């Protein structure tokens, strides 16, 4: 079995060669300040709405189960 001599040796690149330059982009803009009080109020309102929807779904499910159990 022949010995593997390794990969072929590649010639050195031209000394004047260089990779293409990447276009520089502007830094991101500064974001506006956040109104934390309004965000807290909106989050509280969304939490209440979610709990209300869950409560309505739970009551509806309980009623349907009771109706089905006692309808037999």
DSSP line for 43-63: HHHHHHHHHHHHHHHHHHHHH
Block mean pLDDT (10 aa), the chain, length 72: 86 84 90 96 98 98 94 76
Q: Is the residue at 9 inside a domain?
A: no
The pLDDT of residue 19 is 80
Q: Is the residue at 20 inside a domain?
A: no
The pLDDT of residue 16 is 84
Number of domains forming the structure of the chain:
1
Q: Is the residue at 56 inside a domain?
A: yes
Whether pTM exceeds 0.75: no
The pLDDT of residue 57 is 98
Q: Is the residue at 62 inside a domain?
A: yes
Residue 64, helix vs strand vs coil: helix
The string over 17-42, giving b where at least 16 C-beta atoms fall within 10 Å of a residue's C-beta and e elsewhere, is eeeeeeeeeeeeeeeeeeeeeeeeee
Containing structural domain, residue 45: 38-72
């Amino acid at each position: 079995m022949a010995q593997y001599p390794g990969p072929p040796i590649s010639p050195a690149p031209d000394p004047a060669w260089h990779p293409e330059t990447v276009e520089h982009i502007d830094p991101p803009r500064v974001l506006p300040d956040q109104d934390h009080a309004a965000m807290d109020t909106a989050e509280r309102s969304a939490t209440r709405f979610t709990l209300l929807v869950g409560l309505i779904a739970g009551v509806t499910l309980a009623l349907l189960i009771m109706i089905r159990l006692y309808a037999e």
